[in-house]
Amino acid sequence: MTIASFASPMSASAVAMVDAPARLHLGFLDPSASLGRRFASLGLVINGMSTQVSVSASECDAIEVPADCGNEVRERLARHLAALRTETGMLAPLHVVLHRSPPAHAGFGSGTQLALALGRAFSACHRLDLETRRIAALLARGGRSGVGIAGFDRGGLLLDGGPGVEGATPPLLARMAFPQAWRVLLVLDEQRDGLHGAEERVAMERLAPFPRELAAELCHQVLMRVLPGAMESDFEPFAEGVSTLQRLIGDYFAPAQGGSMYTSPAVERVLEWIRPRYCAGIGQSSWGPTGFAILPTAARAAEIIAAARAAGVVDPALRLVVVAGRNHGAQLDDRPSSPWGGCGSA
C-alpha cells in the first residue's frame, strides 16, 4: 500500500510554510576512516540565513524563486518535487515558493535545508507524516554529514557519527544547546563559491589519506574541549578546541583550496587578524567561502568588527554579520488562514 493510501486529501486552501535553519559545518573528525567509519561531523545551527519554502494547492504547477537564485535552484526544487510525488503518489498541482535562502555553495548547508524544507511542506500540505531522515534519503541528502539533517529537526550544537552501513544517514551522537550569550561573527565573501558538485567529489578523491593520529587528536579536541565547553558555557576551551579542529582539518583540505584552509583570501585576512588578538573559535564552514569567529558575547563581536575595520583588514566586498546559535529546528506553519506567522516546531 502506498503512502497516498493513508493520506487525507489536500484542501484547496491548504498552505504550508517551513522556515529551515542554516548550519555551520565545523569540521570532519576522520575523513579517511582510520577505524572503519568515515567522516563524522561537528556542526552548529545558527539564527539568520534561514530557508523559507511554502507549498500550496494550485490549478497548475508553478515554482517561484527570488530573482538572484537563478535556474539552478528552480530546477533543484522541480527535481525534488518530482521525487516526492513518485514516492508518495500525490500528484495534485502545487504552487511552490522559495521566499528566501542563504547564499548557495557558501557553507550554510543550503542544499540540504532547501530539500528538507520542501519535503516537510509537501508532507504537511498532503497531511502525510514523512520523517526528516526519510525525506533526506529520498532527496539524496546527508551522504557525508548528518548535522544538517539533525539541525533541521533539533537545532543546537551537533555531532554525528558519519555514514553507516550502505550509506545510511549518519547517526546523531550528541546534541546540546549552544550558550545563549555566545555569538558567531560570519565573514561572507559573496563573490566566490565553495567547491560543490563534481568538483567537490574530484577534490575529495584526490586528497591524501588522513593520518590516524590526527583523527585521534580531532576526536580528543571535540570530546574533551568542544562538547564540555559548550555544555558548561566555558568559552575558552570550546574556542580553542574549535580552532584546533579547524586548523588541522583545514590544513588537510588546503591542497583543494589553493594551498590555504580558506577559500577566500579576503576572509582569511580578517580571521587571521582576529586570531592572535582575541580568544575566538575561528575557521571556515565546509568548503567556504564563509568564515566564522565564535565569540563569548555580542559586545565582543561588535568590538572586533570595529577594530578590524579600523585596522583596514576588512575588504569592502565582504559582508560581516553577527548571529546567535539556534537551539530549535525548523518551524512549520500549515494554518490555511495564514500565509506565514510562525509557530510550532516542524
Give the pairing of strands 94-100 and 62-64: parallel
Query: Which cell numbers hold the place of 341?
Result: 506567522
Q: In the CATH hierarchy, which top-level class contains the domain 3-177?
A: alpha beta
Evaluate whether 155 touches 331 at the Cβ level (below 8 Å). Answer: no
Q: Of 3.30.930.10, 2.120.10.30, 3.40.50.2300, 3.30.70.890, which CATH number belongs to 183-324?
A: 3.30.70.890
Query: Which cell numbers hold the place of 54?
Result: 511554502
The residues of the chain scoring below 50 in pLDDT are 1-8, 12, 337-346
The predicted pLDDT at position 281 comes to 98
The predicted pLDDT at position 88 comes to 96
Q: Which residues does residue 56 pair with via DSSP β-bridges, in sequence order?
A: 15, 95
Task: Say which amino acid occupies 158.
Answer: L
73-113: per-residue pLDDT in tens?
A: 999 999 999 999 999 999 999 999 999 999 989 999 999 99
List alpha helices for 1-146, DSSP H. Answer: 70-88, 110-125, 132-138
Longest dimension (CA), the chain: 65
The predicted pLDDT at position 335 comes to 60
Q: Which one-letter DSSP state was computed for residue 305?
A: H
Count Cβ atoms below 10 Å from residue 1 Cβ, excluding itself: 5
Spell out the SS3 assignment of the chain: CCHHHHCCCCCCCCEEEEEEEEEEEEEEEECCCCCCCCEEEEEEEEEEEEEEEEEEECCCCEEECCHHHHHHHHHHHHHHHHHHHHHHCCCCCEEEEEEECCCCCCCCCHHHHHHHHHHHHHHHHCCCCCCHHHHHHHCCCCCCCCHHHHHHHHCCEEEECCCCHHHCCCCEEEEECCCCCCEEEEEECCCCCCCCHHHHHHHHHHCCCCCHHHHHHHHHHHHHHHHHHHHCCCHHHHHHHHHHHHHHHHHHHHHHHCCCCCCCHHHHHHHHHHCCCCCCEEEECCCCCCEEEEECCHHHHHHHHHHHHHCCCCCCCCEEEEEEECCCCCEEECCCCCCCCCCEEC
Q: Which one-letter DSSP state was computed for residue 182?
A: -
The residues, ordered by sequence, that sit 6+ positions from 327 with a Cβ below 8 Å of its Cβ are 45, 155, 156, 177, 178
The residues, ordered by sequence, that sit 6+ positions from 249 with a Cβ below 8 Å of its Cβ are 27, 28, 31, 218
273-296: per-residue pLDDT in tens?
A: 999 999 999 999 999 999 999 999
Q: How far apart are CA 72 and CA 329, in angstroms?
A: 26
Count Cβ atoms below 10 Å from residue 312 Cβ, excluding itself: 9
Strands (E), 109-229: 157-160, 172-176, 183-188
Q: Which one-letter DSSP state was computed for residue 325?
A: B
The predicted pLDDT at position 7 comes to 46
pTM: 0.90
The residues, ordered by sequence, that sit 6+ positions from 89 with a Cβ below 8 Å of its Cβ are 2, 3, 4
Give the domain ranges of the chain. Answer: 3-177, 183-324
The predicted pLDDT at position 258 comes to 86
Dihedral sign of CA atoms 70, 345, 131, 223 in order: positive
Query: Which cell numbers hold the place of 231?
Result: 555544555
